[in-house]
Amino acid sequence: MIELAAATDLVRRQWSWFVDTLAAAGPDAWDRPTRLADWTVEDLARHVHWGVTLEEDGLAVAREGGEGPAAGTQLRLPREQIVPALRIAVTGLVGRMEELSEPLSGGVPMPYGELPMAFAVSVFVMEAALHSSDLAHAVAAPSGDTAAPDRLPQGSHAPVAAVMQAFWPVLAAGAADRPPAGTTIRLAGPTTRLEAGYDGASWGPPLGEPAVVIEGGDDAVLLYAYGRLALDEGLLTVRGNRDLAARLKDFVPGP
């Protein structure tokens, strides 16, 4: 998926950028909308604090043999204390990741189940990659910055894709909408491929040829898969049933 050293560096770099960018944006940024439905920048920042402390807690439990699952810390401090709290949380997570060594083994007890350590590290990369891009979109970060609204960090494509592929059936289980039985949907980029088939009861491996193929650059494909990009922004092409393509996040909501 991704080597530990590369994952640790990416998590450190993206979350440090996130905190520094929040600090530089000033108090006027808190109420700005994000591309995540009904979330402001403040909502995003508080969610990130919970997520980062959740990941640190999971690694601590895994290392020290405590009782799981990991819980994380809901940040209820006033706005002016969010950035300092995030700096502490990021330092804690990176420190825990630096304690790990290859080959990764064991599991991380997260609230939604125990994850193999190597896969958990990919989840940590996915969160840092996506949410730094979310903040870049909200504050209009300049092109070429560490994070950008239209791309994910170099080295993150494979773990971000692996997490979506693994969680596709889990995310889809909570959906109110379903495609016709026998439907296979594929998303494809130069180095990225996501696909699953719906058999009338649940999602699983592809069922024959796809009813629709959504194609584009790796960044565009992954941002669309995660609900960060609209189909009509001109970065994707569709072969097959366009209605199914447009309704992908109805079938597979989140995360």
> Cis peptide before 78, with omega less than 30 degrees from 0?
no
* pLDDT tens, residue by residue, 153-204: 999 999 999 999 999 999 999 899 999 999 999 999 999 999 999 999 999 9
- Do 9 and 103 lie in a common domain? yes
pLDDT the model gives residue 232: 87
Given 113, 144, 175, the domain boundary residue is 144
Asked if 50 and 56 count as a contact pair (C-beta separation under 8 A), the reply is no
Q: Identify the domain containing residue 206 by its residue range.
A: 162-251
Instruction: Report the CATH number at residue 49.
Output: 1.20.120.450
Q: Which of 129, 152, 131, 142 is nearest to 41 (CA)?
A: 131
pLDDT the model gives residue 255: 85
- Do 128 and 90 lie in a common domain? yes
Asked if 172 and 251 count as a contact pair (C-beta separation under 8 A), the reply is yes
Given 144, 179, 204, the domain boundary residue is 144
Q: Which residues pair with 203 in a beta bridge?
A: 198
- Do 235 and 135 lie in a common domain? no
pLDDT the model gives residue 217: 97
Asked if 244 and 179 count as a contact pair (C-beta separation under 8 A), the reply is yes
| Residue 34, token pair as written in the block | 């994000």
Given 144, 173, 195, the domain boundary residue is 144
* Alpha helices (runs of H) in the chain, residue ranges in sequence order: 4-25, 41-64, 82-98, 117-139, 157-173, 218-225, 242-246, 248-251
**Which position has the token pair 């590369």?**
6
Element (H, E) at 78: none
